[in-house]
Structure 1
Amino acid sequence: MSDLASDWACPLSAGTRRRAACALGAWAFGAWATGNAWAAWPDKPMELVVGFAAGGGTDTTARTLALHLSRRLGVPVVVSNKPGASGELGLAHVAKSAPDGYLIGMSNMPGLVTLPMERRTRFKAGDFAYIANIVRDPSAFSVLGNSPYRSIDDLIADAKARPGQISYGSTGTGTDDHLALVLFERLTGAQFTHVPYNGAGPLRTAVLGGHVLVGGMNLGEVMPYRDKLRVLAQASPGRSRLAPDVPSFNEQHVDLVFNSERGIVAPAGLPADARQRLTDALRSVAADPLFQQQMQAQFTEMDYLEGAAWQARLEKAAAEFGALWKSAPWTDS
């Protein structure tokens, strides 16, 4: 014990009033010491959890972001992949962790709001501090470069001629890739066989190996492989400025606008000082031209929205997806 701390020691032989004064002093010293220790946050490595396998868009975004955060916070930020259950395992790990600022997670919407609708998850909305959304990545349908499908019309025609015989791979039940298929089927009347994977990396391997005919991956996950894969359509409102040669669903007469939104959450109860410093760091990263260039190189669009504004948007999305779920549950799609 330091000399200062020993000054607040309360001997049992002291009178009641003196012991009370000692206790108050000890409490004050403890609060001072804790405050000074917290002012140094972070003073050890941080962990950024990703609920999908390495090699997918969420993982790539997280690894780029981690490098920028590390420079701003002054400690290593290590990405930890915890794939499984369409991202639930990673989110649950974040939700159950100590709210000390040393473990944060990269969330993926819609899974962040839809997973608790379709099953009893190991996390709930109130388990998180919602720091900021960072980017969005449009959904897309892709096939092998030598596939007979050259357009969305080709795919629709064959799916209607052979209902349920064309395999469609996604990054998991309830993810944006799966829900893009659900909406596509309802918009077109075509029927597919859904095959879930633990992330875009394994799914991309499956498409390249011919194990599934169509891959539901985000635009940023498939564009680096354009020499082997053909993107039939992407789900921006129009052609993405990052991939102007890739047609949208809309221009092929399918009113599908959908994307993956990736943000940063922490366990609920994160101290205000840590939350503010983390928010400041994320805001700085999002405004950094280098980070923006890196996201553009990954065909990923900036979509920075922090704190209460982001949480309000998530709540609105939850209400919309909740109405969709009630009208026609999608787990068996």
Structure 2
Amino acid sequence: MRKWRKAAAMCMAAVMMCSMTACGSGNKESADTTAAPAETKAEGSEAAAESSEAGASTWTPEENVTMIVAYKAGSGTDNTARVLSQYATKYVGKTIVIDNQEGGSGSIGWTALANAKPDGYTLGFVNLPTLCSNIVDGLANYTMEDYVPICNHVNETALVLVAANSQFDTLEDLVTYAKEHPGELKASTNGNKASNHIGAQLLANSADFEYTDIPYGGTADQLLALRQGEVDFSVAKEADIASMTSEVKVLGVFDTKRMESMPDVPTLGELGYYDQWYGSARAIVAPKGTPQEIIDFYADAFKKAMEDPEYVDAAEKAGVTTAYMDPEETQKLLNDQYTFCTDVSSKLWNE
């Protein structure tokens, strides 16, 4: 039952080497993500010009920029994208407009992104490992080669969750019940074989129990189902629950050590289950064929935005775990996540 551990450890260790480049973190309560920083159009243009002079690119956008988010408004991805875009406007010099194109476990939005004109005016967030697992499982109309990495934004550790009024107070309680009642427990996921479904399967395989997965259209709907009592447990990330901490209980974390923000919550490995880090990354990419000077411009602008003290404060309040990676590091992250999906996650349902 444990033959996947070695392959999982090798793949996820590679991913974690990438995430060591993280430039900041956040773990506090949710904050309002709708209020943009006070700044004028002229100030934004001036900041972008200064970024160009100091950075590697002479290209700057002449009109507003569209950022495709492949999940619905109010989802964890949408919230983190809005936090960043509000402060990145200062360095991009134009407004970044979020375009939510949800559906198909992200495939609708990512297909639109892959087919967008590579002119610097359409960018997008890609969620890992779901972007890769969609390809591996034959659910995508795009390939990994359809995107050019700009930077990574977020690395988030996966959590095992139950509703606040759940009968389960510990992960051991949940696992024991699941073993005594095979297939009875239901878990909501953010889509068939999407990131949170992979997490639930990692837990079930390593703890040797059966459950019934119920796929929803995204993490927001998945967690609503959990809070409304439609399912028994879920796997999601910290930023996903930042606005609902009083409505859920965290029973375990997918990491090799306890999280600073949740010191009383055990790791799965402590309890004898999956003992490697698992979670999600959210990276910013452009369509294939986007000129290098445009990639360089945005990599520099987003880096400056993620280092901006006002952004850092807003991200911490929103529970956003910032982990900037440059284009080269982000490409390695994409490659490592694809390897994880081909070598590890794709086999979780075949044992």
Q: What TM-score results when the alignment is normalised by the length of structure 1?
A: 0.83
5 Å-filtered alignment, 1:179-190, equals 179-190=198-209
Whether 1:168 aligns to 2:168 is no
What residue is the counterpart of 1:134 in the other structure? 153
What residue is the counterpart of 1:318 in the other structure? 338
User: CA shift at 1:300, angstroms?
Assistant: 3.0
Q: Over residues 2-42 of structure 1, what are the superposed CA-to-partner deviations in whole Å (9 max), with x where a residue is unaligned?
A: xxxxxxxxxxxxxxxxxxxxxxxxxxxxxxxxxxxx96631
Q: Over residues 312-331 of structure 1, what are the superposed CA-to-partner deviations in whole Å (9 max), with x where a residue is unaligned?
A: 2321232232122564547x
State how far apart, in whole Å, the 2-side matches of 1:228 and 1:149 are.
14
What residue is the counterpart of 1:231 in the other structure? 250
What residue is the counterpart of 2:85 in the other structure? 66
What residue is the counterpart of 1:287 in the other structure? 307
SS in 1 for 2:73: coil
Larger radius of gyration: 1
Whether 1:308 aligns to 2:328 is yes
Name the stretch that deviates more: 222-231 or 73-82.
222-231
Whether 1:97 aligns to 2:128 is no
What residue is the counterpart of 2:131 in the other structure? 112
Q: Over residues 221-271 of structure 1, what are the superposed CA-to-partner deviations in whole Å (9 max), with x where a residue is unaligned?
A: 124322121111122322222333433223333234211101101101112
5 Å-filtered alignment, 1:183-198, equals 183-198=202-217
Q: 1:244 aligns with which of 263, 273, 278?
A: 263
5 Å-filtered alignment, 1:30-41, equals 41=60
Task: Specify whether residues 226 and 325 from structure 1 end up closer, same or farther in structure 2 by C-alpha distance, changes over 3 A only.
Answer: closer
What residue is the counterpart of 2:52 in the other structure? none
Whether 1:273 aligns to 2:326 is no
Q: What is the Cα-based RMSD across aligned positions, in Å? A: 2.0
Question: Could you tell me whether the CA contact under 8 Å between 2:69 and 2:102 is conserved in 1?
Answer: yes
What residue is the counterpart of 1:262 in the other structure? 282
Structure 1: gaps spanning 5 or more residues: 1-37
User: 1 or 2 for the larger relative contact order (CA 8 Å, sep ≥6)?
Assistant: 2
Question: Could you tell me whether the CA contact under 8 Å between 2:161 and 2:251 is conserved in 1?
Answer: yes
Identity in percent? 25
Question: Could you tell me whether the CA contact under 8 Å between 2:159 and 2:250 is conserved in 1?
Answer: yes
Task: Specify whether residues 125 and 188 from structure 1 end up closer, same or farther in structure 2 by C-alpha distance, changes over 3 A only.
Answer: same
What residue is the counterpart of 2:30 in the other structure? none
User: CA shift at 1:70, angstroms?
Assistant: 1.3
Whether 1:80 aligns to 2:99 is yes
State how far apart, in whole Å, the 1-side matches of 2:270 and 2:319 are.
20
SS in 1 for 2:62: coil
State how far apart, in whole Å, the 2-side matches of 1:178 and 1:197 are.
10
5 Å-filtered alignment, 1:16-35, equals none
Whether 1:147 aligns to 2:166 is yes
What residue is the counterpart of 1:212 in the other structure? 231
State how far apart, in whole Å, the 2-side matches of 1:218 and 1:176 are.
10
State how far apart, in whole Å, the 2-side matches of 1:62 and 1:325 are.
26
State how far apart, in whole Å, the 2-side matches of 1:112 and 1:327 are.
17
Name the stretch that deviates more: 158-167 or 287-296.
287-296
User: CA shift at 1:168, angstroms?
Assistant: 0.3
User: CA shift at 1:120, angstroms?
Assistant: 4.5
Task: Specify whether residues 82 and 171 from structure 1 end up closer, same or farther in structure 2 by C-alpha distance, changes over 3 A only.
Answer: same
Task: Specify whether residues 305 and 40 from structure 1 end up closer, same or farther in structure 2 by C-alpha distance, changes over 3 A only.
Answer: closer
What residue is the counterpart of 1:298 in the other structure? 318
**Aligned-partner residue type, residue 282 of structure 2:** R
User: CA shift at 1:173, angstroms?
Assistant: 1.9
Task: Specify whether residues 241 and 296 from structure 1 end up closer, same or farther in structure 2 by C-alpha distance, changes over 3 A only.
Answer: farther
State how far apart, in whole Å, the 1-side matches of 2:271 and 2:203 are.
12
**Aligned-partner residue type, residue 65 of structure 1:** L
Question: Could you tell me whether the CA contact under 8 Å between 1:53 and 1:200 is conserved in 2?
Answer: no
Q: Over residues 265-299 of structure 1, what are the superposed CA-to-partner deviations in whole Å (9 max), with x where a residue is unaligned?
A: 11011122211111110111222233233222233
**Aligned-partner residue type, residue 320 of structure 1:** F
Task: Specify whether residues 316 and 247 from structure 1 end up closer, same or farther in structure 2 by C-alpha distance, changes over 3 A only.
Answer: same
Structure 2: gaps spanning 5 or more residues: 1-56
Count of aligned pairs between the two proteins:
294
Q: Over residues 82-135 of structure 1, what are the superposed CA-to-partner deviations in whole Å (9 max), with x where a residue is unaligned?
A: 111111111111000000111111111001222100014111011001111111
**Aligned-partner residue type, residue 193 of structure 1:** T
Q: Over residues 54-77 of structure 1, what are the superposed CA-to-partner deviations in whole Å (9 max), with x where a residue is unaligned?
A: 222211110011111211111111
Question: Could you tell me whether the CA contact under 8 Å between 2:58 and 2:297 is conserved in 1?
Answer: no
SS in 1 for 2:159: strand
State how far apart, in whole Å, the 2-side matches of 1:56 and 1:234 are.
20
What residue is the counterpart of 1:201 in the other structure? 220
